[in-house]
């Protein structure tokens, strides 16, 4: 029986969010990398199976002295310098807050899901040696909902099994589906397989090609007790695959029970409380020229 109506929602403060490292998964939905024009970046990355994700990448690392130490999360805005003609695409994703434990050698031992939310792993389609360079270009380059739901497991009996990821873009008053509405259980790696893969990557992923050394990153972060990990972007619609963001656009990403997504009313700005009561979370962001960012 679905339990989404009984989920407890909460919010993290900006200070709490700013203390949490943020990672993403590359290639956890079939065909997304090909649609994004990035499949060739991973030709030399060996994976355990054809459908396995390609790797983890950092989006935000608190305290780092390089660009990854710049806080990029925003609840309301995607901001960029559009005079430089960036090629920005929405990446609609499910993000999970994990508690992390380590063994006596500093290796990741366990990941325990604690909460989930809607995430925009917005990406600039540029040629770059590392994925992270396409993700964090400064303040308000990444989207995250203010609202979270508590989560105690990733399993076939868990509350997320009947959820979907939905994404639409509003441009000049016209609403168009940007990502294919997709069940989260269709992630290539999901539930226990995903947890096992994440633990292995956090222990073993080296600096290779577009990927970075995860164990070294965690060591530099002094073994953080929590991580936000965004689990991968859905496939695009034909519109989304060809559409780059422009100032004035408004994007919506929903993490929703399938029944709510089918009703089609989840995007209303006035429906937040009702949506939460029914187990849904929506991220809504305005796209702005960098100088007009007032988030």
pLDDT at position 172 is: 96
Sign of torsion over alpha carbons 291, 168, 24, 83: negative
Q: DSSP 3-state assignment of 47?
A: coil
Instruction: Report the chain's mean pLDDT, rounded to a whole number.
Output: 91
Cβ atoms 153, 113 nearer than 8 A: yes
The SS3 call for residue 259 is helix
Other residues' Cβ atoms within 10 Å of the Cβ of residue 295: 14
CA distance 48 to 34: 19
pLDDT bracket for residue 272 (50, 70, 90): confident
pLDDT band at 295 (very low <50, low <70, confident <90, very high): very low
Q: How far apart are CA 97 and CA 117, in angstroms?
A: 8
Concatenated DSSP letters for 124-193? Answer: E----SSGGGGT-SSTT-EEE-SEEEE----STTSGGGGEEEEEEEEETTEEEEEEEEEEGGGSSS-HHH
pLDDT band at 47 (very low <50, low <70, confident <90, very high): confident
What is the pLDDT averaged over residues 29-42?
Answer: 62
pLDDT level of residue 207 (50, 70, 90 thresholds): very high
Residue 4: pLDDT over 90? no
Read off the DSSP letter of residue 122. Answer: -
Cβ-based neighbours of 56, under 8 Å, separated by 6 or more:
23, 24, 25, 26, 198, 201, 202, 205, 211, 214, 229
User: Domain holding 117: CATH number?
Assistant: 3.90.850.10
DSSP H or E stretch at residue 34 = helix 32-35
Q: How many CB atoms lie within 10 A of CB 9?
A: 18
Q: How far is the C-alpha of 63 from the C-alpha of 57, rounded, in Å?
A: 17
Range of the domain at 173: 4-292
pTM above 0.75, yes or no: yes
Q: Which stretch of DSSP H or E encloses residue 120?
A: strand 108-120
> Which of 191, 183, 92, 221 is closest to 144 using CA atoms?
92
Average pLDDT on 8-25 reads 97
Average pLDDT over residues 82-100: 97
Share of the chain above pLDDT 70, in %: 91
- Rounded mean pLDDT, 153-165: 93
* Other beta carbons within 10 Å of 189: 21
Other CB atoms within a 10 A radius of the CB of residue 207 amount to 11
Contact at 8 Å (CB) between 33 and 204?
no
Beta bridge partners of 78: 287
Q: What is the DSSP-derived secondary structure letter of residue 206?
A: -
pLDDT for the residue 43? 66
Q: Identify the pLDDT of residue 269.
A: 64
Number of domains comprising the chain:
1
Residue 36 in this model has a pLDDT that exceeds 90: no
Q: State phi, psi for 36 to the nearest 5 degrees.
A: -80, 0
Angle at 132 between CA 126 and CA 133, to 5 degrees: 40
């Amino acid at each position: 029986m679905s339990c989404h109506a009984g989920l407890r929602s909460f919010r993290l403060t900006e200070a709490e969010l700013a203390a949490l490292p943020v990672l993403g998964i590359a290639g956890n939905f079939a065909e997304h990398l090909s649609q994004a024009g990035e499949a060739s970046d991973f030709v030399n990355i060996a994976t355990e199976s054809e459908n396995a994700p390609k790797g983890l990448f950092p989006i935000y690392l608190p305290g780092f002295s390089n660009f990854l130490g710049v806080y990029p999360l925003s609840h309301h805005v995607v901001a960029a310098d559009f005079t430089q003609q960036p090629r920005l695409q929405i990446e609609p994703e499910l993000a999970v807050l994990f508690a992390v434990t380590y063994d006596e050698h500093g290796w990741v031992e366990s990941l325990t899901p604690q909460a989930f939310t809607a995430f925009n792993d917005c990406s600039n389609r540029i040629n770059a040696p590392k994925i992270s360079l396409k993700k964090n270009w400064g303040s308000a380059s990444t989207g995250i909902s203010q609202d979270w739901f508590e989560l105690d497991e990733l399993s076939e009996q868990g509350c997320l099994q009947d959820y979907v990821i939905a994404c639409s873009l509003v441009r000049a008053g016209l609403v168009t589906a940007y990502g294919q509405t997709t069940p989260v259980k269709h992630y290539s790696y999901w539930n226990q397989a995903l947890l096992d893969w994440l633990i292995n990557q956090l222990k073993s992923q080296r600096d290779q090609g577009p990927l970075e050394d995860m164990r070294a990153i965690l060591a530099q972060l002094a073994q953080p007790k929590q991580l936000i990990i965004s689990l991968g972007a859905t496939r695009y619609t034909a519109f989304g695959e060809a559409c780059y963001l422009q100032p004035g656009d408004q994007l919506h990403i929903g993490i929703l029970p399938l029944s709510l997504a089918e009703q089609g009313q989840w995007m209303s700005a006035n429906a937040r409380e009702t949506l939460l009561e029914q187990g849904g979370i929506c991220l809504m962001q305005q796209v702005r020229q960098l100088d007009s960012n007032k988030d």
